[in-house]
Structure 1
């Protein structure tokens, strides 16, 4: 089973407009509401691809009621921890003309210590059945600094690989706690480490304790970095579509392969890049196109010189 934890879930609201004009008035058809947050997107993708999953997260308030109802209808196995704070919302406006997506994320509200303890307890209870633990997404403002290291520690104590996808100081805390895999994007990596060079930044996370860093480079593809390997994967031409959830699909691919015992960074990178690209082709985060198998065959994989590698867009 792939066990996912979403510390800061959101009800994802998506609208599509003909053209987004700053300061303008727009008309759209009825939007789509979906229970989201990065860990839930990971669980949705893995579940759709036939993996056994369980998504652990919190829910609260009237938004949380809508969140829970949609998640229940989705069929994705889940365990919801009730909290007093209202579940946040995330708003995506898709510009049909440009193929761009503008996202506004509410920050979320921090659960109480007792509520966080209930989340941790839920994870500990489920870990004996898990083959991988995924902790994915932002932390709400005010969340305890010890939360992410504690979640990683209980996974490691259970002998379960831990994949963490987060940003800011939490990314460094995850590396220091020994997360098996980290999955930042280039901007998050530079912001957290203060290192502009992506390879050096990723290697700094390896030095702190991570085993593998999967680094999203947007249209430039993805890097896999370990203590001894550097692998780059990309499509020859970027895909137009909605990039929301592309990184989550990559995490799902990594989790599925880790659950199957695969540790080869090139194999993981190729699948993660293919699933990320396939997510861009879908209108909503948490889905990937069945074209992923064909995309995987089109991906170009190289082993660049670490001292000279630079993303094409840099």
Structure 2
């Protein structure tokens, strides 16, 4: 009896095609809920094992939805992924019985309560579906458009969000563009990617943005643009960047006079040290930089600069690298990163070679 009660309380996924799920939802006066997952997605498995089986989640979901799940890389899942532009996992789609999208919950949640709060947005006035219907009826009020853009970004419909954001931007004068209500368009890298017209405009009008939005906010966004490109060099993703390119970036950085972004100069100094094969300077900079970084930054920035100088390290330097790596092992919280650092200290550093 306990097992039957437990099973009935959890979210019940039915083995239906999407077409059949929509038909059943219409008959039962419900909506359709789709769990969009992939086999390799860790957060998808976490949601399936820990959140969706919760009693409070199951009771709400089973009463409100016909629930189905599809692997986005197999079978009908591929067509669903393309139709609803699913680009992040997990994504949970909420559809009306005609197949129209009411809302999308993107990403996992820590609790069932948080998950249900996000699901219930589908039925308030700020859901993507309701905003889309209002947009299609011709509403072009500026406040409404800004709200719609933000909802589209949350649901990862970036193509439509970019299009409407661009429609908004072209209707503004320079003073309006550089004001707080529209700042999120320029600050969001999905809406204004590196190299886009919006980003070029931001860099050309930094002083106006600083006056209209605030120096701290603007400087932080511009610093992120530099950080992305410098980190790509440090982690070995941009192998074509030359020392001259880095020095040009440094001069450009100087010209913007960013406040509170000194870490960018540390990145530049480390890149220069690696490119000039200066192991003493590389070691000194690593000791100063990496203990200050987050686990995520350490995970993708620490190893490459050191391995780029393979066969350049002497035994004394390698001992210091081992000590630094052990310091980071004690510092970080991610278990997989601890394992990677330990393996690097035990087997990676000893094989870096000698001068």
TM-score of the superposed pair, with normalisation by structure 1: 0.33
Between Structure 1 and Structure 2, which shows a larger proportion of strand residues? 1
Larger relative contact order, structure 1 or 2 (CA cutoff 8 Å, min sep 6): 1
Structure label with greater radius of gyration: 2
